[in-house]
Structure 1
């Protein structure tokens, strides 16, 4: 049984941590493949005060204090693992953590950087030729990315990565699945996402303007950071929506909206966690347009693709509840058949074993 030391933002809390669902789905599925995993996360950003799951039985979780001393002690534990993973966006001394973790990794261990926001990371690397990650790439066995197609793969290879492989978001059917609707989440369109600088303009275009254009419709806005943003009267602010309520939100609204961040939309091939959460609950999903969407869901049959806010408003006017339910049901069938974390983990297991064999033979 191979061991993994995994350094990420948080497994226990989705609070200001969009990668939580991705980590949970992937690591649970890798554990089912036979890997023994320890997840190391810093106690920062009040995440430990806002846990939404207990430590799971499929992964050991180590929470370390937000101090350099505690970081170094946690990084030293990497010496015990067969596979060492440092993720992007951990949120506390990321550059130092990368250096310490890879320094601690024993000879023969697989060294992996797992990028959960490749567009942002690549922009940093291009702007800083002496960036610690850029200097470290040549000593890593591979880069895994949360999304991104050929442009992201080529960019990492040009920067010195030996290999770059996308491991796309997926569905964990044990976590996201159809449930009974709840009156508190009933509405015509629900959007769930924290406010981020490179999402504001697209939220205004794809959510706020359609809300103003269809005053007869009821809109639900979930996520943190929106309290100071002006919204039309037909928008109900939900604030932070715990993961345990995502299924109910997704099944209760007639449609659910996905809005990519600017950088994700520009790069394409980056389906958000929300895409699979909504599809897994059997929701009718409207997504803003981005390259590669058809690789995951078929437009018009399994997902509705909006070029702009006018398209969103038109879907609200023209798609009756029965068609919305049919689209949601088709999306659920597709993701269960092709886009589960079990399938992603099986592919990743093959990749890890191949790299381990190559390392042993060298």
Structure 2
């Protein structure tokens, strides 16, 4: 299969989780024998922070405007499938271009589905419009559950399928390094996540001055009052993630409000940490228990007291149980097979529709 992907970023993981998602998925998709071209908008904030220049599993090219996509118009027209990702700059125009010129299956890969739907309801989404959704043959969604029915029923998607994030099992595994932190958190600053981070990490840090904490991620405001025992790491490249998790007794998962409301929206950090056998303490939302079993493969926390209790215990068995589940169900190899099935099913549906129209 020849696949063209127009995504937010493959070259830079700075301030976004899209790059690690695409890297894991597409490297495994290529390993299944497929040919991939990734087209990335050339923007200064990623150009200055690139940590991959020449991936060995796909061709990576950069364009400066929607008009410049004409350079690859032939590839888009001849591809078996063309996939547009969420948060792509000028994504509405990019999507319209793809739907005009693609000869094969068209797909939208939404790595931010609940956020996208909230933006659509508010009329503030600049990378997808409601009019474009029926024109994509398949809507691949980071969110499963009832959201898939909503996409088909209310937005007219011909086919909505879950395509959760995943982990590269070769890059994420337990490392034999000293434990530097009792509780870690890895994530870009988000205003709606910050109150939970305050409650489940910063408040426990103030109450447990003898323990060590760390928050890694970009864009945190300068006025946050970090306790002295909370280390700050401004940016942690993906190559250092496995060591980061392996050096943590526990790690925290915090979810954006839109994703909590929608449910069934796992973060890639869940799978990365679990693959490193690091026990995860998470906020709670519908569907999480379907992905990882509570108290056996993951710990839930509603308040700081539950975090404090956990930090006084050795629950390494939670991490090892999570690793087994993730290696069985949530690796990039599993997800690449699911993507292949999505695109193949969409192609079959197109063929059936064409046959019905010809009769």
Above 0.5 in TM-score?
yes
Task: Decide which of 147, 152, 177 is 1:151's aligned counterpart.
Answer: 147
Task: Decide which of 111, 119, 125 is 1:116's aligned counterpart.
Answer: 111
Moved over 6 A (4+): none
Q: Does the aligned pair in 1 maintain the 2:114–2:143 contact within 8 Å?
A: no
User: Deviations 1:308-360 (Å, cap 9, x if unpaired)?
Assistant: 2332222113x12xxx3222111111111222121122233223222212323
Q: Distance in 2 between matches of 1:82 and 1:349?
A: 11
Does residue 236 of structure 2 align to residue 241 of structure 1?
Answer: yes
Alignment of 1:66-81 (within 5 A): 67-71=65-69, 73-74=71-72, 77-81=75-79
User: Deviations 1:192-236 (Å, cap 9, x if unpaired)?
Assistant: 101023222222222222222222211111001225122111111
Q: Which residue in 2 is equivalent to 1:166?
A: 162
User: Deviations 1:123-162 (Å, cap 9, x if unpaired)?
Assistant: 1222339986211222221111112321343244311111
Q: Does the aligned pair in 1 maintain the 2:6–2:40 contact within 8 Å?
A: yes
Q: Which residue in 2 is equivalent to 1:274?
A: 269
Task: Decide which of 337, 353, 356 is 2:344's aligned counterpart.
Answer: 353
Q: 1:57 to 1:130 in 2, by over 3 A?
A: closer
Q: Which residue in 1 is equivalent to 2:11?
A: 12
- Please, which runs of 5 or more residues in structure 2 have no aligned partner? 355-359
Alignment of 1:1-362 (within 5 A): 2-65=1-64, 67-71=65-69, 73-74=71-72, 77-90=75-88, 92-106=89-103, 109-128=104-123, 133-181=129-177, 186-226=180-220, 228=222, 229-317=224-312, 319-320=313-314, 324-361=315-352, 362=354
Q: Distance in 2 between matches of 1:327 and 1:34?
A: 36
Q: Distance in 1 between matches of 2:129 and 2:158?
A: 13
- Please, which runs of 5 or more residues in structure 1 have no aligned partner? none
Q: How much does 1:75 deviate?
A: 6.0
Q: Distance in 1 between matches of 2:336 and 2:295?
A: 29
Q: Does the aligned pair in 1 maintain the 2:205–2:229 contact within 8 Å?
A: yes
Q: How much does 1:279 deviate?
A: 0.7
The alignment yields a C-alpha RMSD, in angstroms, of 2.1
Q: 1:75 to 1:295 in 2, by over 3 A?
A: farther
Scaled by the length of structure 1, what TM-score is found? Answer: 0.91
Q: Distance in 1 between matches of 2:120 and 2:57?
A: 34
- Report how many residues are paired: 351
Q: Does the aligned pair in 2 maintain the 1:182–1:248 contact within 8 Å?
A: no
Q: Does the aligned pair in 1 maintain the 2:161–2:342 contact within 8 Å?
A: no
Q: Does the aligned pair in 2 maintain the 1:191–1:256 contact within 8 Å?
A: yes
State the secondary structure of the residue aligned to 1:135: coil
Q: Does the aligned pair in 1 maintain the 2:118–2:258 contact within 8 Å?
A: no
Q: Distance in 2 between matches of 1:75 and 1:47?
A: 24
Q: Which residue in 1 is equivalent to 2:357?
A: none
Q: How much does 1:72 deviate?
A: 5.2
Q: Does the aligned pair in 1 maintain the 2:98–2:106 contact within 8 Å?
A: no
Q: Distance in 2 between matches of 1:162 and 1:352?
A: 13
Q: How much does 1:82 deviate?
A: 1.3
Q: Distance in 1 between matches of 2:72 and 2:302?
A: 46
Q: Does the aligned pair in 2 maintain the 1:182–1:249 contact within 8 Å?
A: no
User: Deviations 1:166-211 (Å, cap 9, x if unpaired)?
Assistant: 111222111211223157xx01101010102322222222222222
